Amino acid sequence: MSLGLLVLLFTRVDTARLWEVARTASAAWLGAALALYLVMILVSAWRWGLLLNAQNIRLPFTKLTSSFLVATFFNNFLPSNIGGDVIRVADTAPAAGSKTIATTVVLIDRGIGLLGLVLIAALGATLGHRLSSESGISPGILWAGFGTASVLALPALVAPDRFMRLLRPLRVLNPEWVDERISRMTNALARFGDSREALVGCFVGAVAVQAVLVGFYLAVALSMRIPVGFAELAVIVPITFIVQMLPVSMNGFGVREATFGFYFTRLGLSLESALLVSFMGAALIMLISLSGGLVYLARLRAGGAESPA
């Protein structure tokens, strides 16, 4: 899927023009984009720490930031985002005393992050006016999606015992093992239900993360003088993230660019501008994630971590 879409997109643009515009991009705006992405990493590590604290798991902020950098590296250089989550679970499981609890924290973090993503998209669609009706995006659909997701998430925190009964069919595999994991996850969800302030803080952090990511892409666009606004990107960027979650591409390549192209052309912008923003943003993210690779190599040399394989 990645290869096919990229080939199709590049047959429709002037690659020489792409390279020329990319070469003249503003270094100042690209530097601002890098700074915004680093802010996103710091906020993400902070909100992860809030959820861990709600489970009485205390870890230094520097360790969480280091772990998140390593996770970002694996997210960007492995076929899916699962590799990064494995790193985060492995790094916090010893302090949690349970891989199940560490996994539950990461899943809750992911779920809250998705809610923040949809909220930003809904706000962008409400405030923005340039995306036409033919794009298929309306504020009502996004607000309905946010409300539905919020309602579906409530039972996990309000009535974790009943919610976890959904996993009981898995007992056919190994009753004792499954019962133990369900019990630990139920207890973890109950603790989250008693720590509403941590959940609220995490949600606020998730909204901030998504807003910063939109600002990151806005800075990338401004570096190449592409006239797209924050409100429009607040709709486009979350949708590209959702599309990248589908297991049909290699690290989102192709589908991300196609999604940018779909919405940019409906804003009256060229396909070239969409590819420039998408590829330049991906390049900067991969550049930053290399620091996580260096952190992981340092761990291996120090003998402080095992390979995720």
pLDDT digits (tens, 9 = 90+) for 82-117: 678 899 999 999 999 999 999 999 999 999 999 999
Supply the pLDDT for residue 160: 83
pLDDT of residue 307: 44
pLDDT of 15 above 80: no
Using CA atoms, how far apart are residues 249 and 307, in angstroms rounded to an integer? 24
pLDDT-wise least confident of 44-48, 220-224, 239-243:
239-243
Of residues 194 and 245, the one with the higher pLDDT is 194
pLDDT at 289 over 70: yes
Q: How far is 233 from 198, CA to CA, in rounded Å? A: 29
Taking each continuous run of H as one helix and of E as one strand, the counts in the chain are 13, 0
- For residue 308, being part of any structural domain is answered with no
Q: Of 2-11, 104-113, 137-146, which range is least confident? A: 2-11
The pair of three-digit structure tokens given for residue 75, joined into one six-digit string: 């997210």
Of 48-57, 84-93, 157-166, 212-221, least confident by mean pLDDT is: 157-166
Query: pLDDT confidence of 131, banded at 50, 70, 90?
Result: low
Average pLDDT over all residues of the chain: 86
What is the per-residue pLDDT for 309? 39
Sign of the Cα pseudo-torsion (233, 239, 245, 246, in order): negative
Per-residue pLDDT, averaged over 227-235, amounts to 90
The pLDDT value recorded for residue 196 is 85
Mean pLDDT to the nearest integer, 59-86: 85
- Whether 284 is covered by a domain: the verdict is yes
CA 122 to chain centre: 17
pLDDT at 233: 92
Instruction: Pick the more confident residue, 185 or 252.
Output: 185
Average the pLDDT over 9-28 and give the result. 79
Question: Do residues 202 and 50 lie in contact, with contact meaning Cβ atoms separated by under 8 Å?
Answer: yes
- Whether 149 is covered by a domain: the verdict is yes
More confident residue, 267 or 211: 211
C-alpha pair distances (Å), 285 with each of 206, 217, 229, 232, 276? 18, 11, 21, 21, 14
Residue-range definition of the domain harbouring residue 224: 2-297
Residue 224 vs residue 140, higher pLDDT = 224
Is residue 85 a part of any domain in this protein? yes
pLDDT at position 308, please? 44
Res 136 pLDDT > 70: no
**Does any domain span residue 306?**
no
Is 60 exceeded by the pLDDT of residue 133? no
Q: Is the pLDDT of residue 135 over 50?
A: yes
CA distances from 147 to 134, 193, 196, 239 (A): 24, 19, 18, 17
Q: Rounded CA gap, 152 and 66, in Å?
A: 33
Residue 169 pLDDT level (bands cut at 50, 70, 90): confident
Residue 307 covered by a domain: no
What's the mean pLDDT in 12-34?
Answer: 84
Place of tokens 């949809």: 118
Buried b / exposed e over 13-27, threshold 16 CB at 10 Å, is beeeebeebeeebee
Give domain status of residue 205, yes or no: yes
* pTM of the predicted protein model: 0.88
Q: How many domains does the chain have?
A: 1
Q: Is residue 309 part of a domain?
A: no
* pLDDT exceeds cutoff 60 at 286: yes
Q: Which residue has the higher pLDDT, 65 or 19?
A: 65
Q: What is the pLDDT of residue 141?
A: 84
